């Protein structure tokens, strides 16, 4: 009898562990006000005026790293906004990068993936080494440590039958562990004169989004509002979702939006048709103060670009707690970037914004965040 009860307990526990937490599109605790208080504002890096701050990364000591692809360089600033130096310019020499992606901080190193190599720098911006992926090139999304990364494709263009997977890869041995498989439909693909063009548009492109916290992976495909939780062996731990209707859009909406990209005339109609007629649900997942933040994008037709519409905040068990937004005031517009130039770190928010006179600035705000120990789930 004891054996049967034990088996029944294990079965019930297993069902509970893998049961999805389903939320209505109504946060249990209402809206959250970040109460932004400006600490400092910078518009230059030494003699350089910001061109397009595309990626902001902040260390635990509040050192700020800025990637500016228009200026083709990376900048370092101390915690009070003092400019330190440039590093990792665009190029193919030692310490130079082509096709830069996210900047990752792993202990005492900066890791920056490029088009072909993964580049390592000290936190002071000194070049250390570069690593090539010799067997199978994976798209780095997160780094567990200097030698191990989480990879997932951004596009279905080169995927056989649209089958994709999240993998944990060791960059030294090139050994891989599959964490999850998922379908990735082609979107944003067009051809002209035997040339294929692949475009990723946040808000339109169904993308795999991943976040790592305490050796736990949070991931989801953005065309469905469902966040999965797995360990680094690939075992599924939990999942939660929001019953949110998709926002439908028309081909004419997409046509007006894509005219801002200056695409060739023979490419434009194909590109419009290749994207779905509905917006995706999210583009970033992060964990702050023990709570799960899901960033919701929106396409602003007047500005011709994507913006952050809102941030949904969930408990550790996936309960929808708060709906938040960041209001920078009437004179500032956030410059959205798929690489992340809206950064939450500690009790601060860092954001790249544009003034009414078209000046680009980076601003550090003191703010207020909900905390897991203050929330009754």
Q: Give pLDDT tens digits along the chain (377 positions).
A: 444 443 433 433 333 345 689 999 999 999 999 999 999 999 999 999 999 999 999 999 999 999 999 999 999 999 999 999 999 999 999 999 999 989 999 999 999 999 889 999 999 999 999 999 877 788 999 999 999 999 998 777 667 677 899 999 999 999 999 999 988 877 887 877 666 778 888 888 899 999 999 999 999 999 999 999 999 999 999 999 999 999 998 998 888 888 877 778 888 888 889 899 999 999 999 999 999 999 998 877 666 677 787 999 999 999 999 999 988 887 888 888 887 889 999 999 999 999 989 899 999 999 999 999 888 76
CA distance 343 to 293: 12
Contact assessment for residue 345 and residue 325, using Cβ atoms and an 8 Å cutoff: no
Prediction pTM value: 0.91
Q: Where are the domains of the chain?
A: 23-370
The residues, any chain, with a CB within 8 Å of residue 314's CB and separated by 6 or more, are 23, 227, 240, 291, 292, 293, 294, 320, 321
Contact assessment for residue 297 and residue 283, using Cβ atoms and an 8 Å cutoff: yes
For residue 277, CA distances in Å to 205, 303, 307, 347 come to: 11, 20, 18, 38
Task: Name the CATH code of domain 23-370 (choices 2.120.10.30, 1.10.760.10, 3.90.330.10, 3.40.50.1220).
Answer: 2.120.10.30
């Amino acid at each position: 009898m004891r054996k049967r009860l034990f088996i029944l307990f294990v079965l019930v526990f297993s069902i509970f562990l893998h049961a999805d937490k389903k939320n209505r599109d109504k946060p249990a605790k209402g809206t959250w006000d970040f109460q932004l208080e400006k600490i400092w504002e910078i518009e230059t890096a030494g003699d350089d005026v910001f061109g397009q701050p595309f990626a902001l990364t902040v260390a635990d000591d509040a050192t700020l790293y800025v990637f500016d692809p228009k200026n083709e360089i990376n900048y370092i600033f101390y915690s009070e906004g003092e400019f330190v130096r440039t590093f990792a310019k665009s190029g193919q020499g030692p310490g130079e990068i082509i096709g830069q992606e996210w900047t990752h901080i792993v202990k005492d190193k900066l890791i920056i993936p490029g088009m072909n190599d993964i580049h390592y720098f000290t936190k002071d911006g000194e070049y250390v080494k570069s690593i090539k992926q010799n067997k199978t090139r994976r798209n780095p999304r997160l780094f567990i440590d200097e030698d191990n990364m989480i990879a997932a494709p951004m596009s279905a263009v080169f995927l056989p039958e649209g089958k994709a997977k999240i993998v944990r890869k060791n960059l030294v041995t090139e050994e891989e562990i599959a964490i999850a498989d998922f379908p990735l439909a082609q979107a944003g693909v067009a051809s002209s004169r035997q040339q294929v063009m692949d475009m990723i548009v946040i808000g339109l492109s169904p993308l795999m989004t991943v976040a790592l916290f305490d050796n736990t992976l949070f991931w989801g495909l953005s065309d469905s509002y469902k966040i999965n939780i797995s360990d680094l062996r690939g075992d599924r731990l939990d999942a939660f979702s929001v019953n949110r209707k998709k926002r439908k859009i028309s081909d004419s909406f997409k046509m007006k939006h894509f005219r801002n990209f200056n695409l060739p005339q023979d490419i434009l109609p194909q590109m419009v048709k290749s994207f779905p007629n509905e917006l995706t649900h999210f583009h970033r997942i992060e964990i702050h103060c023990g709570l799960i933040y899901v960033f919701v994008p929106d396409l602003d037709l007047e500005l011709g670009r994507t913006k952050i519409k809102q941030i949904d905040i969930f408990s550790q068990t996936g309960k929808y707690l708060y709906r938040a937004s960041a209001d920078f005031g009437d004179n500032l517009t956030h410059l959205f970037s798929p690489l992340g130039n809206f950064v939450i770190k500690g009790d601060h928010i860092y954001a790249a914004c544009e003034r009414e006179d078209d000046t680009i600035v980076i601003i550090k705000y003191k703010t207020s965040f909900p905390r897991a120990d203050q929330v009754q789930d």
